Amino acid sequence: MALTKNKKVLDFVESSANLAQPNNIVWIDGSAAQIKALKEEAVKSGELIKLNENLLPDCYLHRTKVNDVARVEDRTFICTPKKEDAGPINYWMDPREARELTNEIARGSMKGRTMYVIPYSMGVVGSPFAKYGIEVTDSIYVVLNMNIMTRVGKKVLDAIGKNGDFIKGFHAKCDVDADKRYIMHFPEENSIVSVNSAYGGNVLLGKKCFALRIASYLGKNEGWMAEHMLILGVTYPDGEKKYVAAAFPSACGKTNLAMLIPPKHYLEKGFKIECVGDDIAWIRVGKDGRLWAVNPENGFFGVAPGTNEHSNYNALESTKRGTIFTNVALNTDNMTVWWEGLSKELPEHCIDWTGKPWNSEKFDKHDKSTCAAHPNSRFTAPAENCPCVSPDFNSKEGVPLSAIIFGGRRASTTPLVYQSRDWNHGVFIGSAMSSETTAAATGATGVLRHDPMAMKPFAGYHMGDYFKHWIDMGAKVKNPPKIFNVNWFRQDADGNFMWPGFGDNMRVLEWILKRCGDSPIDAEETAIGYVPKAEDIDISELDYNIAEGKPFTLDSLKEILTVDKEKWSKEAEEIEAYYNNSIKDRIPQELWDCLATLKANCYVAPVAEKPAKKAAAKKPAAKTADKKPAAKKAPAKTAAKKTTAKK
Ligand code: GTP
Ligand code: SPV
Ligand code: MN
């Protein structure tokens, strides 16, 4: 029975049913009894496997089809009437064509099945920042995941009310045919359509589709931001709290940073990290002239491989009850789960993510085809399970940001941490981000590609306009967060990570926050921005051994803080090519100016001119801008303008 009198909701449900022709329609009211019944039904049909009730109470395993294990970027479309509004790096389809195509695919696809109607909220129901959605789906897996990842049920319909608006989401599994898989976004119609997938980001429509692609479009028009960012709180020994948001591309460390456990001596001093969010931040201008962030989600859809009690104790704890695992391995000795990196010992009897017995003797960690769990296998865990979930998790106003951090997987070039000279330069750093691709999306992994603000797959409009929106947001706030870039993934010649990462990232966070106070700690001004003086990053009690027992010393730190001008000169050329060839137009002048400054700062004099250039090279960062060649599109006049810090 319909749970609302809202005509728009009823019309959407009716038209979806007319298209997909399900046998019956079930409204998800969010009650424990209904969710329990759905789990039982899914276990009966084999869609879920019940795990050991004593060891993993109320936990289930789900396996997807082997052709359906990650987001599909090349089948994800932004359907704006004008192609140029989707921009050059989004896949675009004409909205009418997209509707016709997906209607054709979805027509009659739920015959003999049930269509579930999920009313859900992104954000705390009733909060001024919350936005509501209705997802219809023929997948119980989707219902149960949405019930963890968002706030679901009758209370959402009550909040939408009789006339309220919502985002329409239509999902049909169809035949899970990869050749007919489409994830369509209609930003101007507040609508999403997803067909022929039953995996994560493709089908949990509240997550990437709504809370990033549609929301980024709404944010541009309404003056706020939807970002692919974790949010964490640092509590100091004296009780003071500061908040940070960080954008890293998919599978580049957001969940891990959001829940990190500081090194022992930090804990002993009284430092604490609390998690507000691990994937998405909605950011607004607060009355106090600062930026405030909320996490619109209610759970974690986290990467399983690599998660263990040392690397991410809090994430692992979060998965101990009420969790759905997707594409991990099943340990048949005790009906628990396993994945690469969970433990050193391999399980004796285990079924791999495809449902076949796993041969541990053939296991080679460098060969993904021998893995028991899929590299993009995931857990869907309620945020309330997390031992370090922030008391501000359900705050209606969110938390004020002291810092914004960008970062990616970079084997070389990018130092452990550096700070932008000001907001606009920070936007430039975000716009210029590159990172090696991961298993979170289909396609090759380990390929370096541009991923501005970790939003390449998620910005719902033109990337150039998105950069401009960032610039505009900075101009709106009196006290914008300081902007930083980190790289946990520098590698030595043998391919070993040069920084221990994980909990030890606390050491970098501490420095970052020391740069944000009223009397910031000193830093070195370099060609790319401010880099820490090595002595200012606490490396005490760091027993990390790089390869062959080489201890981590001040020199090791200095090495990963190095800014190599030659490499950065190439990087600048690379950024310029990206701007010119990929984003093409609509790049704000402020970013061209920053590029010109970077090029100028990294200019290495030809040998013959050595004596003349030597003095200039010594000059700090921005000041040298007017003496060196400007970036291609930046008029010399503006390129020469000195970047000044926002007061
Ligand atoms: P999405 O959920 O896809 O958005 O990913 P995410 O950004 O939340 O990434 P996550 O924290 O799940 O980490 C992804 C992978 O990176 C895991 O295999 C981690 O073990 C690894 N990782 C995370 N942090 C670090 C780090 O500091 N150093 C190293 N070397 N690896 C890390
Ligand atoms: C990501 O890929 O960034 C994820 C997983 O967080 S998914 O929800 O599949 O997009
Ligand atoms: Mn993500």
CATH 3.90.228.20 range(s) for the chain read 235-253+263-270+406-599
If one residue of 273, 303, 490, 507 were mutated to test the ligand 1 pocket, choosing by the most ligand atoms within 8 A of its CB, it would be 303
**Does 3.90.228.20 match the CATH number of domain 235-253+263-270+406-599?**
yes
How far apart are the C-alpha atoms of 112 and 109, rounded to whole Å? 9
Instruction: Return d(Cα 646, Cα 564) in angstroms, integer.
Output: 27
Cβ-contact 604, 565 below 8 angstroms = yes
Atom 2, ligand 1: residue with shortest CA distance: 302
For domain 7-47+72-223, which architecture applies? 3-Layer(aba) Sandwich (3.40)
In 3D, which of 501, 145, 529, 78 has the Cα closest to residue 301?
145
pLDDT for the residue 549? 66
- In the three-class reduction of DSSP (H, G, I as helix; E, B as strand; rest coil), residue 429 is classed as helix
311 C-beta closer than 6 A to ligand 1: yes
| Catalytic pick among 59, 79, 174, 252 | 252
Ligand 1: distance of its center to the CA of 576 in Å? 29
Report which residue type is found at 584: K
Among protein residues, the one whose CA lies closest to atom 14 of ligand 1? 251
| pLDDT confidence of residue 605 | 80
* Contact by Cβ (8 Å): 306, 438: no
CATH 3.40.449.10 intervals, the chain? 7-47+72-223
User: Taking CA 19 as the corner, what is the angle to CA 14 and CA 21, rounded to the nearest 5 degrees?
Assistant: 85
With vertex at residue 93, the alpha carbon angle to CA 87 and CA 95, rounded to the nearest 5 degrees, is: 110
Protein residue with its CA nearest to atom 27 in ligand 1:
501
Structure letter (DSSP) for residue 606? -
Query: Quick check: is 594 catalytic?
Result: no
Report CA torsion sign: 52, 56, 62, 63: negative
Alpha-carbon distance of 531 to 69, in angstroms, equals 39
pLDDT score, position 199: 95
Q: Residues near ligand 2 with C-beta < 6 Å? A: 71, 200-201, 207-208, 250, 279, 301, 440
Mean pLDDT per 10-residue section of the chain, whose length is 647 residues:
93 98 97 98 98 98 98 98 96 98 98 98 95 98 98 97 97 98 98 97 98 98 98 98 98 97 97 98 97 98 96 97 98 97 94 95 85 97 98 96 98 97 98 96 94 98 98 97 98 92 97 95 98 97 69 94 97 98 94 98 78 42 40 42 35
Cβ–ligand 1 distance for 457 under 6 Å, the answer: no
pLDDT score recorded for residue 622? 40
Considering every ligand atom shown, identify the ligand nearest to the alpha carbon of residue 495 and give its number. Answer: 1
Among 310, 174, 314, 212, CA closest to 255: 314
d(CA 627, ligand 2 centre) in Å: 44
Q: pLDDT value at position 634? A: 45
Smallest CA-to-CA distance from 527 within 555, 560, 569 is with: 569
Residue having the nearest C-alpha atom to atom 15 of ligand 1: 251
The beta strand positions in 383-433, using DSSP E, are 399-407, 417-419
Q: Given this model, what pLDDT does residue 609 score?
A: 56
Please name the residues in contact with 490: beta carbons below 8 A apart, sequence gap of 6 or more: 410, 411, 412, 414, 415, 416, 497, 498, 499, 560
Asked if residues 88 and 583 have their Cβ atoms less than 8 Å apart, the reply is yes
Asked if residue 484 has its Cβ within 6 Å of ligand 1, the reply is no
Q: Are 350 and 399 a contacting pair, CB within 8 Å? A: no
pLDDT at res. 623: 37
pLDDT the model gives residue 617: 37
Taking the CA of residue 249 as reference, the ligand 1 atom at the shortest distance is 7
Alpha-carbon distance of 23 to 620, in angstroms, equals: 70
Nearest to 446 by CA among 456, 463, 458, 434: 434
User: What pLDDT is attached to residue 627?
Assistant: 39
Predicted pLDDT of residue 550: 72
